[in-house]
Amino acid sequence: MALRVRIESAAGAPEERVLEQTDVVIGRIATAGLVLSDASVSRQHARLTFQNDAWWVEALSATNPTLLNDATIDRPHRLATGDVLKMGTSAVQVLGAQEPSRPPSAPAPTATDDRQSARLDLLNEVHRALATAISLPGLLELILERCFSVLAPEEGVVLLRTPAGTLEPASTRQRTGPAGPIQVSRRLIDEVAGKGKPALVMDAAIDERLAGSESMIISGIRSVVAAPLIDSGGLLGLIVLSSRAGVRQFTQHDLDLLVSLASAAALRVRNVALAEEAAERRVLERELAIAHDIQMSMLPKPIPDQPEVLVAATLKPARSVGGDLYDYWMAGDRFWFIVADVAGKGVGAALYMAVVKALFRACAHGDVPVTEVAARMNREIARDNDSMLFVTAMFGTLMLATGDVTIVDAGHNPAVAVSPGGPLNQPAIPKSVALGVVEDFEFTEGRFHLAPGTTLVLYTDGATDARSAQDQIFGVDRLMAAIRNADPTPSALVSSVTTAIDAFATGAPQEDDITLLAIKRPA
Amino acid sequence: MPEVHVHRVTATASAEGVRHALNQFDQFSRAQGLSDDLRRRFLVALDEVLSNVTRHGGPTDGLVQVDFTIAGNRLTVTVEDEAPPFNPLDAPQADTMAPLEQRKAGGVGIELVRKLLETVRYEHTGGRNRLMMTDRLSGHADHS
Amino acid sequence: MTISEAHESGVVVVSPHGRIDSTTSAILERHLQGIAAAGQTRVVVDFGSVDYISSAGLRVMLTLAKRARDQKGRVALFGLNDSVRQVFELAGFVALFTIAPTRAEALHSAMA
């Protein structure tokens, strides 16, 4: 039974109210069921309760009397229509009892069985309703809609766990007005999330769980019910529903319903979040696959065997895309070539490698001296070089008629020349600094002769640093052995060396991009 | 059972935090009798990693956790923080939107970390960045 | 990190003590800037008391090398321990500097 009253307070005009609670404190305190902003009224002055089918009044203040029809009361009195209560200079008149506009709490169940089956029905219904949601925001809105329909709070918020581990509001709903930011006690959140247990807070003023939580008391929050969204995978978030003073008071039964709702919701939230994650991953994988194709297509096509030079190469990135590069082309009387390695791997290195390749092609043309190409590339790369970018490279020209090689070693792995049945030898090439480190470095070139039948092999440290499943590294010796033992054509050489590295590294993840370039001067 | 020693240092992602972590490692490695060579290689790598985390990782009041673990014949230094995904070896990652003329791939420091230590692994799990650097206490592999 | 300095035959010999890394490299940088501001272009860096050098320290050395080139000065290093030497090699910096086996040879190189 709700109580209709007229309030006359020194503070303002007379006002009619319907008290829907069955237990209403009248006083100056902000959390009172009926607040009288009157300095002469005590913080908790009197209390109205609905018991035994009637409304009763009792005085709460020992020093500040409550008058019922002008007589001080010292024990609970039944109230009748027309009774006037005086507290300080305020007055409350009883206008009558009436049917509550809606149940102050969910209908009291008649039996435990009924309650159980009602919960199951709710679960099924919620499941069905939530199953229609396909996006996370849509799902959260649906969850709140269900909460409002079943539990009638004034405000509701779903908090979700962020990747950083904090709990942040992800969706809000208000009974009236547009959804906006909602005050939620951090302490309550921490308690519910920390313990993974639901919480029911009856009266913010005296619940010690919220003691010191100024935010909720000031906004007059009175009744709060919160349940974690939790499944076997862990805590996903929380649902928090609240109502202000005098409007709605949650009970244990309400909490049980919310817990049921939350368990159905948790499953859906998990599924939808996983589906979204999987979709994002697929998009990323597709993009990387496209990037890989683009990078591979940037590599020069195998050139048909020429009378003066045979070429073969391979590039195996550690990830979809990488920081290694090889390039070559015929330019009249000479053959230009490069093998390079950007420090680092992945997308950043690959993007940068595209720049280096373009630079090489732009600088290395006609009869530009190799040291000049080095200087130009280096100047471009080294501009604004805070991070001391590190691109090692071995590049130069092979004169087709004479077999003379001019080469610059910018901090790269040593080149090796092999003749069939003959020894391996490392041409003496002066070492320069890697590209990009010192803007105006003076590169020095090495010159040697590639005899007919000899193959020049360039590689990156992915080849020597390849790791086996037992954590041993392939090393320079094994690489030289593989080169020496290979068949004398460049494609056979590249193929058998790659096979040797792959066999050695079976079972271990590839840590670095592997590149090989073999250039042979036919016999 | 191989012996396991673990020492944890928590520092802020700031210049002061880096100094603290490096000092702690220096003391730890001396106390454990590690060779000068191993100690120095790890210090160079740790300086690089922590500097990158400080410069490009999360907020400067964020905490970084550095663990030194000796298990059997291996020393592992693990650097962990709770910033958004960031691999110190990819630094400076944040600048991938900048024009390509600017240096956005690996620098000398990253090359040093990779070359000085036997194993360097990065992962992002449970909202945390984790970088693990491992090498052998004795008889370490060729680091050419 | 403390830095001691000596003058010999028109060459400044700079001796940092301790580590040259992100926590100390600014100290070395300021010191070297001071030497340059005083018009001294012949510099020898004594690494005998340097425990290790990281990329932050290499950056300072790089600036020194560039300044020497710009001002037609001379730079020589000596006393590198194995760790410092390895770092210079991995970074490809051995091509940038004259690394002498002894103090005498470093001085000789800087006076050239």
Choose from A383, A387, A438 for mutation: most chain C CBs within 10 A: A438
Closest residue on chain B to A413 (Cα): B144
Average pLDDT over every residue of A462-483: 90
CATH code of the domain containing B95? 3.30.565.10
Rounded distance between C-alpha atoms, residue A451 and residue A402, angstroms? 9
Q: Is C112 on the interface with B (CB under 8 A)?
A: no
Query: For chain A, what percentages of helix, strand and coil (3-state, to nearest 5) are there?
Result: 30, 30, 40
What pLDDT is recorded for position B3?
63
pLDDT tier at B90, thresholds 50, 70, 90: low
Write down the number of H helices and E strands in chain C.
4, 6
Cβ neighbours, 10 Å, residue C9: 10
The mean per-residue pLDDT over the stretch C67-82 comes to 93
Any B CB within 8 A of A472 CB: yes
Q: Taking residues A436-452, what's their average pLDDT?
A: 89
- Which residues in chain B have their CB less than 8 angstroms from residue C50's CB? none
Mutation target to probe the C interface, by most C beta carbons within 10 A, among B108, B111, B117 is B108
Rounding to the nearest 10 degrees, give the CA dihedral for residues A474, A477, A483, A484.
-150
CB A460 within 8 A of CB A515: yes
pLDDT tens-digit series, residues A307-334: 889 999 999 887 777 788 999 999 889 9
Cα angle for residues A414, A415, A417 (degrees, 5° grid): 140
Q: Where are the beta strands (DSSP E) in chain C?
A: 2-8, 11-20, 42-46, 50-53, 74-78, 98-100
Instruction: Please provide the DSSP assignment of A129-181 as one string.
Output: HHHT--SHHHHHHHHHHHHHHHH--SEEEEEEE-TTS-EEEEEEEESSS----
Nearest chain B alpha carbon to A346: B90
pLDDT for B14-47, tens place per residue? 888 999 999 999 999 999 899 999 999 999 999 9
ipTM: 0.92
Q: What percent of chain A has pLDDT over 70?
A: 87
pLDDT for the residue C91: 85
pLDDT in tens, A247-286: 677 888 888 889 888 988 888 888 887 787 788 888 878 8
What pLDDT, on a 0 to 100 scale, did the predictor assign at position A158? 93
Instruction: Give the residue from chain C lying closest to A434, CA to CA.
Output: C92
Look at residue A410 in the predicted model and tell me its pLDDT.
Answer: 93
Q: Best interface-test mutation with C: which of A378, A389, A432, A433 has the largest number of C CBs within 10 A?
A: A433
Give the B:C interface size as CB pairs under 8 Å. 60
For chain C, give the longest Cα–Cα distance: 34
Q: In angstroms, rounded to a whole number, what is the distance separating the alpha carbons of residues A199 and A220?
A: 18
Residue A461 is encoded by which pair of tokens? 């440290």
- What is the number of domains present in chain C? 1
With 70 as the cut, is the pLDDT of residue A102 above it? no
Per-residue pLDDT at A206 exceeds 50:
no
Asked if residue B143 is part of any domain, the answer here is no
**Count of domains in chain B?**
1
Q: Please state the rounded mean pLDDT for residues A78-106.
A: 79
Say yes or no for a CB contact (<8 Å) between B100 and A388.
no
Neighbours, chain C (3 or more CB pairs < 8 A): A, B
* Confidence at residue A221, expressed as pLDDT on a 0 to 100 scale: 53
Q: From chain B, pick out residues whose CB is under 8 angstroms from the CB of C82.
A: 37
Q: Note the pLDDT tens digit of each residue in A365-421.
A: 888 999 999 999 998 888 765 555 678 999 999 999 999 999 999 999 999 999 877
- Domain assignment present for residue B131? The answer is yes
Cβ within 8 Å, pair B104-A344? no
Task: Answer whether residue A441 shows pLDDT above 80.
Answer: yes
The residue range of the domain holding B61 is: 4-136
pLDDT digits (tens, 9 = 90+) for A292-307: 887 888 888 888 888 8
CA distance B127 to chain A (A): 5
B116 burial type by CB count under 10 A (0-12 exposed, 13-18 middle, 19+ buried): buried
Closest chain A residue to C70, measured at CA: A440
Would you say C37 and C69 are in contact if contact means Cβ atoms under 8 Å apart?
Answer: no
Please give the Cα distance from A265 to A140 (Å, whole number): 9
Cβ contacts of C55 on chain A, cutoff 8 Å: 388
Residue B82 with chain A: CB contacts under 8 Å: 164-165
**Mean pLDDT confidence for B119-126:** 81
Q: Name the range with the highest mean pLDDT among A38-52, A91-105, A341-355.
A: A38-52
Report the pLDDT value the prediction gives residue A54, as an integer from 0 to 100. 84
- Sort strands C98-100 and C74-78 into parallel, antiparallel or unpaired: parallel
pLDDT band at A246 (very low <50, low <70, confident <90, very high): low
Tell me whether residues A431 and C94 touch, CB distance under 8 A: yes
Sheet holding A66-68, edge to edge: A15-19, A2-8, A90-98, A84-87, A66-68, A71-72
SS3 B109: helix
Q: A179 burial class (0-12, 13-18, 19+ CB within 10 angstroms)?
A: middle
pLDDT of residue B141: 47
Q: Which residues in chain B are closer than 8 Å to C19, comparing Cβ atoms?
A: 22, 43
Residue B86 scores a pLDDT above 60: yes
Residue of B nearest to A161 (CA): B127
Measured between CA atoms, the residue of chain B closest to residue C53 is B44
What is the domain-level CATH number for residue C66?
Answer: 3.30.750.24
Q: Is A383 on the interface with C (CB under 8 A)?
A: no
State residue C80's pLDDT score: 97
In a domain, B51, yes or no: yes
Which of C59, C69, C92 lies nearest to residue A433, judging by beta carbons?
Answer: C92
Give the end-to-end CA distance of chain B in Å, rounded to a whole number: 33
- Beta bridge partner(s), residue A314: A516
Q: Check if the beta carbon of residue C18 is closer than 8 Å to that of residue C49.
A: yes
Residue of B nearest to C52 (CA): B40
Averaged confidence pLDDT in chain C: 93
The number of C-alpha atoms within 13 Å of A133 and in the hemisphere containing its C-beta is: 25
Q: Which positions in chain A touch B123 (Cβ < 8 Å)? A: none
Range of the domain at C34: 2-111
Instruction: Report the candidate in C14, C25, C15, C26 with the shortest Cα–Cα distance to residue C53.
Output: C25
Residue B108 has its nearest CB partner, among C21, C52, C58, at C58
Of all helices (H) and strands (E), which one includes residue A30? none
Most confidently predicted of A197-206, A225-234, A274-283, A346-355: A225-234
